[in-house]
Amino acid sequence: MSAAPGSHAASHVGRNGHGASKDALSSDDITGSESRKSFHRRLSEHFCIEERGSSVGKEIRAGVVTFLTMSYILLVNPQILAHAGFPPDQVVVATALSSGVACVTVGALGNLPFGLAPGTGRRGWLPASCRAC
């Protein structure tokens, strides 16, 4: 049975030129959303996201919020350590690199969603002790 041109009953023609129903698309016809679902499924399986009662979307939103919450350290750290004589531009780079390496290490090796950055407690002690010398 052939459908009239412009009819909604027309069959799907894949890249290989063969007709196919929407239920039986070839691997050549995978769309971006199917590829994205596969990526989300792999992420969920690797990090046990669904087993922990979450979803990939929630984890991405949580990661953005964590980044925005922790990014203040890139502004505060150089200001505090500048009083001890450290160059602020190098402190920003060192802070960003150390935080990034720590977060990726814990995420990849520990399979845990922790954000790690330098703490502010002892950092305040350093400039005060350097001024006393």
pLDDT, tens digit (0-9, with 9 covering 90-100), for 58-94: 988 998 999 898 888 899 889 888 888 899 999 999 9
In sequence order, what are the residues at sequence separation of 6 or more whose Cβ sits closer than 8 angstroms to the Cβ of residue 78? Answer: 86, 88, 89, 91, 92, 95
- CB of 113 closer than 8 Å to CB of 107: yes
Tens of pLDDT along 33-58?
777 778 888 888 888 888 889 888 99
Greatest Cα pair distance in the chain:
92
pLDDT score for 132: 57
User: For residues 35 and 102, what is the distance between their CA atoms, to the nearest angstrom?
Assistant: 30
Domain ranges of the chain: 30-132
Mean pLDDT of the chain: 76
Least confident of 22-26, 89-93, 98-102: 22-26
- CB of 123 closer than 8 Å to CB of 76: no
pLDDT score for 101: 94
The average pLDDT across 102-110 equals 90
- CB of 49 closer than 8 Å to CB of 55: yes
pTM of the model: 0.59
pLDDT score for 133: 58
pLDDT score for 131: 63
pLDDT score for 22: 47
